[in-house]
A and B are shown apart, each in its own frame.
Chain A
Amino acid sequence: QVQLQQWGAGLLKPSQTLSLTCAVYGESFSAYYWSWIRQPPGKGLEWIGEINHSGSTNYNPSLKSRVAMSVDTSKNQFSLDLISVTAADTAVYYCARVGSLGREIVVWGQGTLVTVSS
């Protein structure tokens, strides 16, 4: 059964870089796209972007200028960097697995609360 385990710094100051990593267990890393999605406290879901095992990416146009995703296939891990964070980036960040046909999010990580505060 697939499991996604994510980690990263939970408290950042404005202008710093948010960095999160997600490890994939029990699943073929090369068979799917892997996503990051965030949810500000009390608000809805926002897709950040996705990456596959070869490093091919798609990003949300609204975040594209600040986002970079990468993969480490030797460890079955993928990562998110979001630069120049502000308080508006405070959210629970989820890593997730995209469905085989690329139309839905099938598996979600446990989520990491990242707070941006001076």
Chain B
Amino acid sequence: EIVLTQSPATLSLSPGERATLSCRASQSASSYLAWYQQKPGQAPRLLIYDASNRATGIPARFSGSGSGTDFTLTISSLEPEDFAVYYCQQRSNWPPMYTFGQGTKLEIK
């Protein structure tokens, strides 16, 4: 069973700064990694799929990279609405299941 470890747990930055969030998998699972954003009281929203593809309607300041066991979500210049919790997620073939990281909280400095 894949375990996803996100770092840091909390990231404190100011609007306009660059954010770099990390997700490490316990075993290689190719490039099938997704990233989600969740704001308080809301359902998560898909940002990135297959490690580097932006979902429909996601601004270009969000980008994803990585493969194998190490993945990164980058927000090039933070907007006030970007402060939220971010989760990474992978799908494993055996057992067939989805696993989420524990989340990174991006907060205003």
Q: Count residues on chain A whose CB falls below 8 Å from chain B CBs.
A: 21
A47 & B44 in contact (Cβ 8 Å cutoff): no
Q: Which residues of A contact B103 (CB under 8 A)?
A: 44-45
Q: Report the bound CA distance from A45 to B88 in whole Å.
A: 10
B59 contacts partner chain A, Cβ-Cβ < 8 Å: no
* Residues of A96-118 whose CB lies within 8 A of B: 99, 102-106, 108-111
Interface magnitude class on chain B: 20 to 34
B46 & A47 in contact (Cβ 8 Å cutoff): no
Contact of B100 among A46, A108, A111 (CB under 8 A): A46
B43 contacts partner chain A, Cβ-Cβ < 8 Å: yes
Q: A58-B96, A103-B50, A106-B55 are in contact. Are A45 and B44 (CB under 8 A)?
A: yes
Q: A61-B1, A102-B91, A103-B32 are in contact. Are A47 and B97 (CB under 8 A)?
A: yes
Q: Report the bound CA distance from A10 to B20 in whole Å.
A: 38
Interface contact tally, CB-CB below 8 A: 56
A52 contacts partner chain B, Cβ-Cβ < 8 Å: no
B69 contacts partner chain A, Cβ-Cβ < 8 Å: no
A45 & B87 in contact (Cβ 8 Å cutoff): yes
Contact of A103 among B36, B91, B99, B101 (CB under 8 A): B91
Q: Which residues of B contact A58 (CB under 8 A)?
A: 95-97
Can you list 7 pairs linking A and B with CB atoms under 8 Å apart? A45-B44, A45-B103, A60-B97, A61-B95, A104-B32, A104-B89, A105-B98
**B interface residue numbers (CB < 8 A to A):** 1, 32, 34, 36, 43-46, 49-50, 55, 87, 89, 91, 95-103
